[in-house]
């Protein structure tokens, strides 16, 4: 339904409603008053007639009655008249025969009278209060009804004309409005189709004109925006083309192509920034490539060294293994996934029996290994019969770098050297030992010859013989102790660490060393606490360290001494903050300051060729390190002092072992 039709129908509906109400009110008011007037007039006419005929009724003058009725009926409105006496007898009547024939029924109101288009009413004929009959009268309502019908016709005609005018005006108004709307619609369609140059006709100053103006303004603004957008689009397209060139350069750079010249680096817009960033990217790609080459070279170098190298990241995962590590741990790695942690490596190694030296709870050992960062190097026994010296270092930002060196051959040759050195010591001690053994042997010889002489003389004194025999037994015991100790000392190291009492080792080494010093004017004093002190290691090798220190002290005293008696002193402080400390003092004049920091280097010696090997202190250093201890040297008044500190293993551990 069009807007125009809706306008016309809407206005017509309003008009119809208003007209209907007006006509209803008009008809009601008009019809009511006309009917009332007619009714009142009928009553008045009946009363006048009753008065007029009262005398004739009293006199029963029927002729007069008839003449009066006839006269009265000349009025067009009266339909009939009838006069009755008090008994109801008709004295005279006249008018419409049909009305007279019908039975009389008085109408109470105009509405009942409308049924037969006649007002039927009766009035009494009374004179001075006496009833002389009554008048029945019929008055036609045709004139009133005609009037009402006429009024209705006029009302309807006015309503029709009004509605027609309203319809015409509505149509004209609708046409006017829809005409403007038509232009608006056409304009909007044009805008929607992209024709922003189109202008909507603006007529007048009403809301539609304002709306049309708004549309025009909107189209103007859109046209401007479109022009701006088109311009920006062109700029973007131009930039896109430059960006594509730079992206192309980036692609070629990332493919590793050389000699790429990046354009537009001098521009001061985003393209310029991008171009300059691309140049930085090119440089960093070059740097990355160089770093990769460098990394490859490093990996190759790491792969070529004999030492095993493995790097674990901050989370404990292995991020680099060199070839030596992979070779040595082939069996363990074969059982591990591609990515593994140091803990998993140690656990799998233990499970496969690769760490035969581990005693006690393996988890404790693994935790101890993981916590070993930046601590002293440690020798680890590896199956079947290898020894690796491992160093674990924590590097900030990388993780744990673990290196392991196969020192099996080195340790074998060290042990051979120790053995050779011991044999040399034994050789050096031979004179002293011979002297030492000669004493008990001399005593035994003397005692036995005295006994023989006595028996030959026939003097058998059991107490005397018993005393001599006991003496011989004691001396034999002493000789066997010396031989026993030498046998122990001559034993080969077996590489098994176990707890031993430091105090006992010091006392027995002192006894042995004294035999060596016997022939020289050098005394060996011992000042150690009375309590035992347990350390972990191979006692025989530790004693060799002490003997080596004694030998060096002896050499220093012999070389630098003033000819007077020399002195060597064993002192010990047990249970100090660093564990148990052993000090070996001598009066040999001390160590030259210039060589103090070279003492423990292998093959460093100040002794003449053939006498010194320069290995004694370096081997001692390794031995003490293996016992998780430290050895150091310093000068004291009149000589040197070597200090060994070893961690305590506690009496409980030692007893358990
Ligand atoms: P060697 O005894 O075969 O020379 P060492 O390693 O035992 O080898 O000793 C290295 C050097 O340390 C010796 O040559 C000596 O110069 C010096 N040295 C060792 N102990 C002492 C000491 N008690 N007094 C002075 N110098 C010493």
Residue-averaged pLDDT of the chain:
86
Q: Which atom of ligand 1 is nearest to the CA of 615?
A: 6
Q: What is the pLDDT of residues 533-550, one digit of tens each?
A: 999 998 888 988 998 899
Interacting residues of 249 by C-beta distance below 8 A, sequence separation 6+: 260, 262, 263, 278, 282
Q: What residue's CA is closest to ligand 1, atom 2? A: 612
Beta-strand pair 579-586/639-646: antiparallel
* Partners of 318 in beta bridges: 312
CA of 236 to the centre of ligand 1 (A): 85
Q: Does the beta carbon of 545 lie inside 6 Å of ligand 1?
A: no
3-state secondary structure 535-573: EEECHHHHHHHHHHHHHHHHHHHHHHCCCCCEEEEEEEE
Q: Does the beta carbon of 606 lie inside 6 Å of ligand 1?
A: yes
Q: Domains in the chain, please, with CATH?
A: 3-153 (3.30.450.20), 217-304 (1.10.287), 307-406 (3.30.450.20), 414-656 (3.30.565.10)
The pLDDT of residue 15 is: 80
Query: What's the mean pLDDT in 115-120?
Result: 86
Q: Does the beta carbon of 622 lie inside 6 Å of ligand 1?
A: no
Q: What is the pLDDT of residues 512-536, one digit of tens each?
A: 888 778 778 899 999 999 999 999 9
Q: What residue's CA is closest to ligand 1, atom 25? A: 591
The span from the CA of 427 to the CA of 414, in Å, is 19
The span from the CA of 15 to the CA of 162, in Å, is 8
Q: Does the beta carbon of 281 lie inside 6 Å of ligand 1?
A: no
What confidence category does residue 429 fall into, taking pLDDT thresholds of 50, 70 and 90? Answer: low
Q: Does the beta carbon of 616 lie inside 6 Å of ligand 1?
A: yes
The pLDDT of residue 142 is: 84
Nearest to 54 by CA among 139, 129, 119: 129
Q: Does the beta carbon of 78 lie inside 6 Å of ligand 1?
A: no
Q: Does the beta carbon of 604 lie inside 6 Å of ligand 1?
A: yes
The span from the CA of 419 to the CA of 464, in Å, is 47
Q: Does the beta carbon of 31 lie inside 6 Å of ligand 1?
A: no
Q: Which atom of ligand 1 is nearest to the CA of 607?
A: 14
Q: What residue's CA is closest to ligand 1, atom 18? A: 552
Q: Does the beta carbon of 549 lie inside 6 Å of ligand 1?
A: no
The pLDDT of residue 176 is: 75
Q: Give the residue, out of 617, 624, 640, 642, with the most ligand 1 atoms within 8 A of its beta carbon, to mutate for a pocket test.
A: 617
Residue 517 burial by CB count (10 A; 0-12/13-18/19+): exposed, middle or buried? buried
* Partners of 633 in beta bridges: 642
Q: Does the beta carbon of 620 lie inside 6 Å of ligand 1?
A: no
- Find out whether the peptide bond into 158 is cis, omega within 30 degrees of 0: no
Q: Does the beta carbon of 617 lie inside 6 Å of ligand 1?
A: yes
CA of 606 to the centre of ligand 1 (A): 7
What confidence category does residue 655 fall into, taking pLDDT thresholds of 50, 70 and 90? Answer: low
The pLDDT of residue 339 is: 94
The pLDDT of residue 19 is: 83
Reply yes or no on whether the pLDDT at 654 is more than 60. no
Q: What is the DSSP string of 92-118?
A: EEEE-HHHHHSPP---SSHHHHGGGTE
Q: Does the beta carbon of 586 lie inside 6 Å of ligand 1?
A: yes
Q: What residue's CA is closest to ligand 1, atom 19? A: 552
Is the model's pTM score more than 0.95? Answer: no
CA of 603 to the centre of ligand 1 (A): 10
Query: What's the mean pLDDT in 341-357?
Result: 93
Query: What's the mean pLDDT in 457-462?
Result: 85
- C-alpha torsion angle, residues 148, 153, 159, 164 (rounded to 10): 180
The span from the CA of 158 to the CA of 160, in Å, is 5
Q: Does the beta carbon of 429 lie inside 6 Å of ligand 1?
A: no
Nearest to 602 by CA among 377, 399, 394, 414: 414
Reply yes or no on whether the pLDDT at 561 is more than 70. no
CA of 548 to the centre of ligand 1 (A): 9
Q: Does the beta carbon of 556 lie inside 6 Å of ligand 1?
A: yes
Question: Per mean pLDDT, which range of 15-29, 255-269, 508-522, 602-616 is the poorest?
Answer: 602-616
Q: Which atom of ligand 1 is nearest to the CA of 611?
A: 3
The more confidently predicted of residues 324 and 377 is 324
CA of 37 to the centre of ligand 1 (A): 164
The span from the CA of 369 to the CA of 348, in Å, is 14
Q: What is the pLDDT of residues 143-152, one digit of tens each?
A: 888 888 888 8
Q: What is the pLDDT of residues 51-67, one digit of tens each?
A: 888 888 888 889 998 99
The span from the CA of 294 to the CA of 287, in Å, is 10
The span from the CA of 186 to the CA of 592, in Å, is 115
Q: Which atom of ligand 1 is nearest to the CA of 548?
A: 7
Q: Does the beta carbon of 591 lie inside 6 Å of ligand 1?
A: yes
CA of 545 to the centre of ligand 1 (A): 13
Q: Give the residue, out of 551, 552, 560, 566, with the most ligand 1 atoms within 8 A of its beta carbon, to mutate for a pocket test.
A: 552
Reply yes or no on whether the pLDDT at 489 is more than 70. no
Query: What's the mean pLDDT in 213-237?
Result: 90
Q: Which atom of ligand 1 is nearest to the CA of 552?
A: 20
Q: Does the beta carbon of 588 lie inside 6 Å of ligand 1?
A: yes
Q: Which atom of ligand 1 is nearest to the CA of 614?
A: 8
What confidence category does residue 488 fall into, taking pLDDT thresholds of 50, 70 and 90? Answer: low
Q: Give the residue, out of 570, 599, 621, with the most ligand 1 atoms within 8 A of its beta carbon, to mutate for a pocket test.
A: 599
Q: What is the pLDDT of residues 617-634, one digit of tens each?
A: 888 888 898 888 999 999
Reply yes or no on whether the pLDDT at 214 is more than 70. yes
Quick one: DSSP state of residue 317?
Answer: B
What confidence category does residue 276 fall into, taking pLDDT thresholds of 50, 70 and 90? Answer: very high
The span from the CA of 334 to the CA of 326, in Å, is 10
The pLDDT of residue 173 is: 79
Q: Does the beta carbon of 613 lie inside 6 Å of ligand 1?
A: yes
Rounded CA Rg of the chain: 73
Q: Does the beta carbon of 552 lie inside 6 Å of ligand 1?
A: yes
Query: What's the mean pLDDT in 11-37?
Result: 81
């Amino acid at each position: 339904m069009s807007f125009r039709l809706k306008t016309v129908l809407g206005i017509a509906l309003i008009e119809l409603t208003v007209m209907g109400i007006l006509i209803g009110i008009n008809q009601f008011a008009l019809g009511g008053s006309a009917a009332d007037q007619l009714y009142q007039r009928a009553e008045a006419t009946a009363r006048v007639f009753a008065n007029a005929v009262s005398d004739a009724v009293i006199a029963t003058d029927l002729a007069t009655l008839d003449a009066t009725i006839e006269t009265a009926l000349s009025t067009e409105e009266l339909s009939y008249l009838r006069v009755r006496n008090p008994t109801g007898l008709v004295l005279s009547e006249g008018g419409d025969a049909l009305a007279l024939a019908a039975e009389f029924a008085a109408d109470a109101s105009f509405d009942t009278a409308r049924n037969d288009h006649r007002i039927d009413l009766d009035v009494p004929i009374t004179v001075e209060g006496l009833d002389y009959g009554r008048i029945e009268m019929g008055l036609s309502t045709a004139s009133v009804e005609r009037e009402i019908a006429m009024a209705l016709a006029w009302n309807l005609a006015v309503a029709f004309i009004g509605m027609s005018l309203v319809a015409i005006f509505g149509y004209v108004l609708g046409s006017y409005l829809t005409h403007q709307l038509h232009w608006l619609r056409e304009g909007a369609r044009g805008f929607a189709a992209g024709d922003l140059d189109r202008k909507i006709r603006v007529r007048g100053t009403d809301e539609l004109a304002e709306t049309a103006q708004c549309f025009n303004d909107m189209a103007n603004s859109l046209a401007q925006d479109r022009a701006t957008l088109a311009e920006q689009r062109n700029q973007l397209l131009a930039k896109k083309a430059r960006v594509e060139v730079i992206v192309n350069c980036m692609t070629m750079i990332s493919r590793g192509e050389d000699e790429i010249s990046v354009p537009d680096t001098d521009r001061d817009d985003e393209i310029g920034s991008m171009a300059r960033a691309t140049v930085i990217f090119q440089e960093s790609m070059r740097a990355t490539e160089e770093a990769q080459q460098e990394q490859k070279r490093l990996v190759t170098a790491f792969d070529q060294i004999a030492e095993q190298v493995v790097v674990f990241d901050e989370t404990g995962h292995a991020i680099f293994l060199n070839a030596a590590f992979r070779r040595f741990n082939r069996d363990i790695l074969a059982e591990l996934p591609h990515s593994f942690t140091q803990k998993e490596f140690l656990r799998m190694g233990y499970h496969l029996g690769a760490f035969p030296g581990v005693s006690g709870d393996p988890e404790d050992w693994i935790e101890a290994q993981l916590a070993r960062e930046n601590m002293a190097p440690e020798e680890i026994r590896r199956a079947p019969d290898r020894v690796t010296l491992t160093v674990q270092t924590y590097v900030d930002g990388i993780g744990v770098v673990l290196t392991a060196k196969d020192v099996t051959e080195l340790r074998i040759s060290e042990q051979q050297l120790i053995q050779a050195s011991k044999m040399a010591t034994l050789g050096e001690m031979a004179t002293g030992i011979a002297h030492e053994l000669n004493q008990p042997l001399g005593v035994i010889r003397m005692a036995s010859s005295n006994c023989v002489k006595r028996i030959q003389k026939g003097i058998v004194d059991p107490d005397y013989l018993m005393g001599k025999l006991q003496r011989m037994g004691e001396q034999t015991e002493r000789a066997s102790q010396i031989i026993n100790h030498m046998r122990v000392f001559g034993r080969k190291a077996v590489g098994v660490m176990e707890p031993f009492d430091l105090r006992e080792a010091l006392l027995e080494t002192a006894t042995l060393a004294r035999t060596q010093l016997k022939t020289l004017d050098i005394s060996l004093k011992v000042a150690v606490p009375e309590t035992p002190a347990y350390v972990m290691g191979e006692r025989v090798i530790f004693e060799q360290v002490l003997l080596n220190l004694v030998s060096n002290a002896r050499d220093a005293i012999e070389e630098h001494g003033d000819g007077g008696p020399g002195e060597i002193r064993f002192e010990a402080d047990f249970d100090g903050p660093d564990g148990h400390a052993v000090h070996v003092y001598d009066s040999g004049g001390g160590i030259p300051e210039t060589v103090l920091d070279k003492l423990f280097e292998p093959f460093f010696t100040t002794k003449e060729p053939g006498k010194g090997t320069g290995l004694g202190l370096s081997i001692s250093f390794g031995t003490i390190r293996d016992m998780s201890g430290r050895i150091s040297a310093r000068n004291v008044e009149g000589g040197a002092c070597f200090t060994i500190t070893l961690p305590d293993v506690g009496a409980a551990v030692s007893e358990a072992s």
